[in-house]
Amino acid sequence: MKTLLPAAIIFGILSAIDNSTFAQIWTSNGIPGMSGWSALAMSADGIVMTAAGSTNIYISTNSGAIWLPTSAPGQYWAAIASSADGSKLIAAASPVGYAGGIYTSTNFGTSWTSNNVPNPNYWNAVASSADGTRLIATAGYYSSSAGPVCISTDSGNTWAQTGAPVTDWCSVASSADGSKLLAGTFGGPVYLSTNSGGTWMLQTNLPAARWETMALSADGRILMAVAYEVGSGPGGIYTSTNSGAVWTRANTPTSQYYWPAFCSSADGTKWVAIGHWVFYSTNSGNT
């Protein structure tokens, strides 16, 4: 389950990633006023945007000028991801008054399919390869319910549980080709797979934390693991520039921030993070 954040804020953040001036001017994108926005996704060119909330999923195909509801069923939508062109979507629904499950769309949200995915407790994080064929989903619920990591190699038509531990998963990210996967737990470790989920490696030089967000560069070489909190204290942003061999803690503005949201450019050098304020870095977190 992700910390809820105002959609307009994160859309501005995502727009800032590819803006050389880093968005000194912010614009409200006219998204409908539904409460409980929980997840966002964007195409690589920034034209197609999707926003998931407590009861519906909305889409914009003109960079946020107009928003329309998709045909997604009424669910509590916890996470969403898209292909690079924005046409293929995967969304995770948690059973908060609903049935829950994993849903996919291959036509910009016009129609949705409930997938034959194992249904443990709470699906809370999803990721997609750039072409939308390789999908990953994790389950867990604030340390009270453990779940698996499942993958699909055919756009969600079939699913398989990976060999990752059944635990309290919190976040997941994928490289562009879907071969490298990074997944974080709630109050525990981070795991990395370099073979599309075939095997998983415990990242032993990272602390136990509430790993709220994972991110990878498109080639999977640069890894970013973002902790909302470490132990019982404020969180931190950690990065590896050699596919997880060595991790370092980024030089974030202060150690007293909790980090609920983070995103990165495709090359892994430009970051935007929320920690009470909005922070950005143009050099992989050095400043």
Burial class of residue 86 in the structure, from the number of CB atoms within 10 Å of its CB (0-12 exposed, 13-18 middle, 19+ buried): buried
CA distance 98 to 84: 29
Neighbour count for residue 57 (Cβ, 10 Å): 25
CATH topology of domain 7-281: Methylamine Dehydrogenase; Chain H (2.130.10)
Give the per-residue pLDDT at 48.
96
Residue among 139, 163, 161 nearest 150 (CA): 161
Give residue 231's pLDDT: 84
- Contact status, residue 130 vs residue 218, Cβ threshold 8 Å: yes
- Please identify every stretch of the chain with a pLDDT value under 70, giving residue numbers as ranges: 1-24, 29-30, 32-35, 97, 118-121, 142-144, 254-255
The span from the CA of 216 to the CA of 85, in Å, is 18
| DSSP conformational letter for 167 | B
Distance in angstroms (rounded) separating the CA atoms of residues 151 and 90: 12
pLDDT at 30: 65
Report the run of H or E that residue 160 belongs to, with start and end. Answer: strand 160-161
Amino acid at 280: Y
One-letter amino acid for residue 139 of the chain: A
C-beta of residue 261 within 8 angstroms of C-beta of residue 272: no
Check if the beta carbon of residue 218 is closer than 8 Å to that of residue 224. Answer: no
Q: Where are the domains of the chain?
A: 7-281
Bridge-based pairing state of the strands 113-114 and 39-42: unpaired
> What whole-number distance in Å separates Cα of residue 153 and Cα of residue 241?
27
How far apart CA 154 and CA 10 sit, in angstroms, is: 30
Q: Write down the pLDDT at residue 255.
A: 64
Query: Quick one: pLDDT at residue 53?
Result: 85
CA dist 145 and 36 (Å) reads: 22
The whole-angstrom distance between residue 246's C-alpha and the CA centroid of its chain comes to: 23
3-state secondary structure 174-198: ECCCCCCEEEEEEEECEEEECCCCC
Q: Are 132 and 155 in contact (CB under 8 A)?
A: yes
Rg of the chain on CA atoms, in Å? 17
Q: Residue 14's pLDDT is what? A: 45
Query: What are the b/e assignments for 200-228, b being 16+ CB within 10 Å?
Result: beebeebbebbbbbbbbbbebbbbbbbbb
